[in-house]
Amino acid sequence: MAAEQVRGVYAISVAADLVSMEIQNLRVYERRGLVAPARSAGGSRLYSRADIQRLHRIRDLLAEGLNLAGIARVLELEAEVERLRAENARMRRKA
């Protein structure tokens, strides 16, 4: 992932606006481990573009009726699929 995708740049209020969520929901998702924003030197949350994409995915999964535990599992499985695809691509390049 490119550096600009993972660098925290958005304050929590901006992130909440970008994904049409309440600030409190973003705090809950962080406590539940669904998102892990960076922190400024003063301790403020800083959300990256990747965090914003993840929050969009969380919003979509909530709309489909999943609870937070289900969303956590889906996100874990999606990350595993991505890891396996990357590994598969590396192995194909070696062959």
**pLDDT of 60-71, one tens digit each?**
999 999 999 999
Task: Say how far apart CA 59 and CA 76 lie, in whole Å.
Answer: 16
Question: Whole-prediction pTM value?
Answer: 0.87
Q: Summarize pLDDT for 32-46 with one digit per residue, the tens.
A: 999 999 999 999 999
Average pLDDT, the chain: 94
Q: What is the CATH number of the domain that holds 18?
A: 1.10.1660.10
Q: State the total domains in the chain.
A: 1
Reported as a pLDDT band with limits 50, 70 and 90, residue 5 is confident
Question: Does position 3 have pLDDT exceeding 80, yes or no?
Answer: no
Q: Residue 95's pLDDT is what?
A: 77
Would the CA dihedral through 14, 15, 20, 25 be positive or negative?
Answer: negative
Q: Residue 8's pLDDT is what?
A: 84
Full residue range of the structural domain in which residue 20 is found? 3-94
Question: Does position 56 have pLDDT exceeding 80, yes or no?
Answer: yes
Half-sphere exposure of 77 (CA within 13 A, CB side): 6
